[in-house]
Structure 1
Amino acid sequence: MSAQSDERDGIAAPAAPHPAAGDTAETERELGSRAPAFIKASKPLHLSWQVGVFAVGLAVVAAGIAMLVLPGPGWLVIFGGMAIWATEFVWAQLVLRWTRRKVAEAAQKALDPEVRRRNIILTVVGLVIIAALVAVYLWRFGLSLPWNVDE
């Protein structure tokens, strides 16, 4: 059951407690449609609004999927399409909340000194291996520039 149907049935959803002024915890937005009140008031108008939001979001997500193989910021555009859907659909709001939470966790984990030290060590080891492979290749085959190749 959605928040909209609760409002239409006359059942008030319990209000979320407001955080204290000094509370630094991130407050989550209320789930449900963010359409203007005059659109929510008419069921046919609200349904057509939802269809329009879905179509625009689908077009943006499809463009993002195309950009995964074509030049362009594919994932950024896909998340933009999800944000468009999240203005109207609860499932998209929940997906974005989950994604935001996972990104914040990954950022915190990346800032952990032990993880940073491990990543630096792995990067240095990888660069040393690549440098050794390049050195072996150059020693074995030499450097032949494209404009100096004899045909």
Structure 2
Amino acid sequence: MNTESNGGPESAEGDAGPAEQPLGSRAPHFIKRSRPLHLSWQVGVFLVGLAVVVGGVIMLPLPGPGWVVIFAGMAIWATEFVWAQLVLRWAKRKVTEAAQKALDPKVRRRNIILIGIGLAIVVALLAVYVWKFGFAMPWSVGE
């Protein structure tokens, strides 16, 4: 079939979105030719990606961009492994859907109303506290 000769199937409808890259290894051609070299390449990519993902997981409870580093490790794995490419495509799709949903006027209106109600509750609670105890701090109320 000619649809796969240039790297993957093309859409006949002419999508407005960017074409997704075909799944599979992105190793250089000379590495893919030799099975032992390609296997060594895959092991190296896996270990580097694993180190980056573990670093990201360590950064989750510590200061640092944990999720960004985890997705960077996934991107490293995606250069070689189809499963990582599928996970990244799924994550990109979900982020895009969430961004589109957040821009929906109904959702924005609902979120603004909920934030307003939450702020009103916080202000009311603070007003009751100040009315009852004055400007005393909570740890010195009993004194």
| Short-chain TM bin | 0.7 to 0.9
Structure 1 residue ranges, 4+ long, deviating more than 3 angstroms after superposition? 16-20
Q: Which residue does 1:52 correspond to in 2?
A: 44
Q: State how 1:1-150 maps to structure 2 within 5 Å.
A: 15=4, 16-19=8-11, 23-144=15-136
Alpha-carbon distance in 2 for matches of 1:107, 1:23? 20
Shift of 1:127: 1.0
Mark the runs of 5 or more structure 2 residues left unpaired by the alignment: 138-142
Amino acid at match of 1:135: A
Alpha-carbon distance in 1 for matches of 2:55, 2:2? 37
Q: What does the per-residue CA deviation read over 1:45-65, in whole Å, with 9 as the maximum and x for residues that have no partner?
A: 111111111111111111111
CA contact (8 A) 2:74 2:84 kept: yes
Alpha-carbon distance in 2 for matches of 1:39, 1:127? 59
Alpha-carbon distance in 2 for matches of 1:125, 1:102? 28
Q: Which residue does 1:9 correspond to in 2?
A: none
CA contact (8 A) 2:25 2:81 kept: yes
| RMSD value, Cα | 2.6
Q: Which moved more, 1:91-100 or 1:57-66?
A: 57-66
Amino acid at match of 1:114: K
Shift of 1:14: 6.0
Alpha-carbon distance in 2 for matches of 1:127, 1:115? 18
Amino acid at match of 2:76: I
Number of residue pairs matched by the alignment: 137
Mark the runs of 5 or more structure 1 residues left unpaired by the alignment: 1-11, 146-150
Amino acid at match of 1:49: W
Please report the TM-score for the alignment, with normalisation by the length of structure 2: 0.85
